[in-house]
A and B are shown apart, each in its own frame.
Chain A
Amino acid sequence: MSELAALGWVYVACALWLGSDHPRGVARWGLLQPIARARGAKALAAALVLAAAVLWNASEPGPAALLAVPVAVMACGTSITLLAALFPRALVASAATVLPLSLLLVAIGASSG
């Protein structure tokens, strides 16, 4: 479950990172829009990736934790881009809103459990 929680942090971080600079970043289409527009979104994204690394390390020590986080960053960035390319904006907005919130809920659940 910690893997999923860590993946949630990475997804949000990627959405923030892309949304902060991306002219049509998916974060601008969802609930993350005001956060992505705020200054310091990149710092927040970096902090979330760091948190993900800690979570991942807790779930599976060793090379898995070292390798899985950058793989997650690449995969989340790619999937966000593919989502934006393949599907209508409304659907992506929903995904950009619902998916991070769901993953965050999982993350909170995992952390407390």
Chain B
Amino acid sequence: MDTTPNRYRLTKHALSRFWHAHAWAGVITALLVYIMFFLGAVVLFYRPLTVWEEPLLQRTPQALPSLERVVQLAAPESEEFYLYLPTGERALAKVGYYLPDTTFWRMWWLDADAGLRIPEREKAAAFVYDLHYLWHDVTGYWLQYGAGVLVFGFLLALVTGALIHLGRFGRQLFQFRPDRDRRVLWSDLHKVAGVFGLPFQLVYALTGSMMVLSPLFFQLSIEPVFGGDAARAVATAGALVEDPPARDHGPPAAALPLDALVARAREVEPRLEAESVVYRGYRHAQGTVDVRGPIAGQPFGDGLVRLNAATGAFESLETPDRGAAVGTLARWIHGLHTVEYGGLVARWMLFVLALGGCITLLTGNWIWIERRAATNPNARPSAGDALLAKLTAGVGVGCFTGLAALLLASRLLPLDMRDRIAAEELALAGMFGAWIALALVTRDSAVLWWRGLALSGALLALVPLAAVRHSPLGLFGSGPRHSTVLTVDGVLLAAGIVLMATAAVLRRHQRQRASVRSPARPDATSEPAVVSSAAGLASTRTATTRAASAPEPS
């Protein structure tokens, strides 16, 4: 550890405390935050993936002469439901709702022309989206809140890391020595990627934790801040709160047709482009409907007009330019995190930054392991360090294999198969778990990495071929091309080839490294066998160049 006081004159004691906080916070949170960053990178392309995976959406958006017909078709089992209208990226309307008193979400596609309510049958993209913040219907909120707390730990690591290097960002940004030994390489890579991505990681950690924890914070604030007045709390929080508190919706009463309600909402806010509606207390006298959608000319956040669904009476209006300070903050939090700006180019850049975040997290763990091994080079690594090394490799490569298995399963399983969504989820979970198990019994993590990447690449490359089963509009289909399906197929094929090529390079370097291992270091194979793709290169160079001359990385 470099405890040299920096130019801002932090004391040696403060530096030491910051460093320990950085290291412990990082190592505790790294693997789960890595999963969030990895899946977050995929979720950047959520909308194209939803079109690619569901053939029902690979058509021109359905025109709806009557919105009320869609409501009748929806016939939800719940009095509270979300109705999503067709848009440029969603060819059919859909309805979604939680089964009463559960966290189980049900969704149906609504084909107004054919008069069909088609159950959701494909959920790969949504599964990845939910897992990105550790949500699953089975686990409910506790795991989501756990994710929020973890991300706060990651924030602590970011802040303490920045404090440690305060005044030395310039040096850490430029100091990059890919031809040194792996400890130096990881240290440099950790710091260069960390400094470059610091604003990105700060923004995403902060906004992510706020989004995930906001329901909890909101509930906790009602009593002490608002004296128990939930309605006033909701009015203040605005867009920060998705669900208003439960209230009595009164006796049964017919709702006005949705066409009339949307027209009334547009009278209230003419700039509103209705994309979805939320009914609460449907067919009750005090039931409400939220008409939601983007506000033309306003950045970040949809507008919302709340009406009494039975009478059409106006209740409230939320637009980006009318929100309270908290509401405005919430819109910026949501808008920044979900990239409500820019186009495809911006999303690809954020994809690179998310991968950079993954590298920062993994290299942090590898530095920890190497540093602890270096304190006593003749001793075997502790059980905790050995486990951390294996879990880092297992989780690191397991994300690739799990995702590839999920996508391939989504193309191979018949669309009418019973429980196919559960089967898809099992494909991801099973593959991910298998690679963690493999990591626990594999001595050399480099082998695990190249084999895992090779398998992931092969599976991903097969996905566009398998996609022909469900849609002829893709890369290898026989029908007319659909631009989104074609693009996703092409990207998956390219990703598969890149992963297989990376695996080949890693395999070559891993074998070279094995062949040049010095016999003077009989304990070499018992070291925590941690290696990255970059480390594979570096470790080869290490054996042939100047490992011993590498200075202590700070």
Contact = CB atoms under 8 A, between A and B. Distances in A.
B346 A64 contact: yes
Contact of A71 (B175, B177, B350): B350
Residue with the greatest number of chain B CB neighbours at <10 A, chosen from A22, A23, A63? A63
Contact of B353 (A3, A4, A78, A84): A78
A79 B352 contact: yes
A36 B212 CA distance: 44
A75 B349 contact: yes
Interface bin, chain B: 35 or more
A70 B350 CA distance: 11
A74 B196 contact: yes
A28 B207 CA distance: 38
Interface in A6-27: 7, 18, 21-25
Interface string B330-364: 00000110000111011011101101100100000
B345 A7 contact: yes
A35 B534 CA distance: 28
Interface stretch (B185-193, B271-279, B485-493, B513-521): B185-193
Nearest to B502: A86
B343 A81 contact: no
B176 interface: yes
Given A74-B353, A82-B355, A85-B185, A24 B345 contact: no
A74 B202 CA distance: 13
* Main secondary structure on A side of the interface with B: helix
Residue with the greatest number of chain A CB neighbours at <10 A, chosen from B193, B335, B346, B348? B346
Residue with the greatest number of chain A CB neighbours at <10 A, chosen from B299, B336, B502? B299
Contact of B197 (A18, A78, A86): A78
B352 A75 contact: yes
Contacts of B300: 63
Nearest to B536: A86
Nearest to A79: B352
Contact of B193 (A24, A76, A78): A78
Interface bin, chain A: 20 to 34
B200 interface: yes
Contacts of A82: 193, 352, 355-356, 359
B490 to A, nearest CB: 18
B6 interface: no
A86 B193 contact: no
Interface in B166-224: 170, 173-179, 185, 189, 192-193, 196-197, 199-200
B537 interface: yes
Contacts of A81: 176, 189, 192-193, 196, 356
Contacts of A70: 199
A86 B533 contact: yes
Interface in B487-504: 502
A70 B349 CA distance: 10
B353 A24 contact: no
B176 A68 contact: no
A4 B346 CA distance: 10
A85 B196 contact: no
Residue with the greatest number of chain B CB neighbours at <10 A, chosen from A25, A81, A82, A84? A81
Given A21-B174, A74-B353, A86-B537, A3 B345 contact: yes
Interface in A51-72: 60, 62-64, 67-68, 70-72
Nearest to B535: A85
Contacts of A18: 174
26 contacts: A3-B342, A3-B343, A18-B174, A22-B174, A23-B175, A23-B177, A24-B176, A25-B174, A60-B342, A60-B343, A64-B343, A68-B346, A74-B200, A74-B349, A74-B356, A75-B350, A75-B356, A77-B173, A78-B197, A79-B352, A81-B176, A81-B196, A82-B193, A82-B355, A86-B533, A88-B537
Given A18-B174, A75-B349, 13 more contacts: A24-B179, A60-B342, A63-B341, A64-B342, A67-B336, A71-B349, A74-B196, A75-B352, A76-B349, A78-B197, A81-B176, A85-B178, A85-B189
Interface of A: 3-4, 7, 18, 21-25, 60, 62-64, 67-68, 70-72, 74-79, 81-82, 84-86, 88
10 shortest A-B CB distances, which residue pairs? A75-B349, A78-B356, A85-B534, A77-B196, A3-B345, A64-B342, A64-B341, A75-B352, A63-B299, A21-B174
